[in-house]
Amino acid sequence: MWKTVNLDKKLLNSLLENCLAVFVEGGHPTVKDANSFEGLNISLEELQEFSEELILSRGLKTAPSIFICLGHQLAAQAHIRLIKKATYQIINLIKTETIGSICHYKNLIDTCKEIINTGENLSIYKDDNTKDNKTEIEVARDWDDPCFAVALNEVPEVGQVELLHYSHNGIHKSKDFSKLLMHHEVISEQNIGIVEQSVTFEKDLNIVMFHSDEVNEEAILFANWAYVKLHNAIAPVRKRISVSDFSWLLSLPDSIEIVCSTSAQGSLCTQVSATCINYTDYETQHKRRSFTFQFHPELLEDLREFNKSGLPSYEKLKNDDGVRMLIRVIYKSITD
């Protein structure tokens, strides 16, 4: 997409839905700055819209999406954009007669107002590495800040890092943070998946990381909480919504989990190293998943692509932690 001319979006989406899996990988620009995409054949806005469409396309028997590096960051931005779009349309465009029930309509409106209020008052904090005591500094004030979903990491990560289970002590300057964290812990307990199992049972998993920006944990915890709230509010009126102009709301994920973090030399580096995007069919309760990774499970420790380094042996691939995890994730996703 970096090199192609304008594509027929409808045709492209149809093609991708019928693939076995869709991979979104990165490049040199930063998603924090639209100007960094100048000179390319696709803009940041177009990539964000494309990422939204991929997230919404995970229907029955469709291809899972695997977002890697820049793709991981684009997916994070897409979650916030989709939640904004959903709450705006529900509050401003959906009428009572669309829902058919005053109490369910009011519940939808109240849910969206709570989501908007939380998003508008949730700040993002990072350690200030310019000071010895590493005091926290605010890097984004609310969900309208361009750095709300993705910001500069405290320390750039290059090379191999160890995967850890995600955890947080709950201490945060934003008053709603503990609420978001508690909701995430519930979702994580209900959806222990392939990445978490790998971290638990394999021990000392070392993965290749190469980035300076990171997805903010506050944004993903918020997105998870908002998705759960929207899913529960939509569920009782899903049949009315399915025959309206707002049927796209039924394609939203029902939750998103932070499935692992990374550490290097004993220090926590990236809290949101990978996420699992969960979808639950309203009627059958069948679950589907897509995944995002800040690290590069497809690269070996030399950080070179196979077309430049040469095709590695099966034995080398089998013994690489990242490649094994990637194959497990792909298999689990396409068999959902």
Query: What is the 3-class SS of 36-105, one letter each residue?
Result: HHCCCCCCHHHHHHHHHHHHHCCCCCCCCEEEECHHHHHHHHHHHHHHHHHHHHHHHCCCHHHHCCHHHH
pLDDT for 139 beyond 70 = yes
pLDDT for 202 beyond 80 = no
Mean per-residue pLDDT, 73-88:
97
CA distance 111 to 93: 15
> What is the model's pLDDT at position 212?
78
> What is the model's pLDDT at position 161?
80
Cβ–Cβ under 8 Å, residues 166 and 301: no
Among 220, 228, 221, 216, smallest CA distance to 252 is for 228
Structure tokens at 308: 């430049």
* 280-324: pLDDT as tens digits: 999 999 999 999 998 888 877 665 666 666 677 888 888 888 888
Half-sphere exposure of 115 (CA within 13 A, CB side): 30
* 7-57: pLDDT as tens digits: 777 788 778 878 889 999 877 788 888 998 888 888 899 899 999 999 999
> What is the model's pLDDT at position 152?
85
Among 128, 53, 70, smallest CA distance to 292 is for 70
What's the gap between Cα 190 and its chain centre? 18
Mean per-residue pLDDT, 114-142:
84
* pTM attached to this predicted model: 0.92
Residues for the chain: how many in total?
A: 336
Calculated CA dihedral for residues 291, 293, 296, 297, nearest 10 degrees: -40
Q: Is the dihedral of CA 166, 112, 289, 235 positive or negative?
A: positive
Among 217, 215, 67, smallest CA distance to 153 is for 215
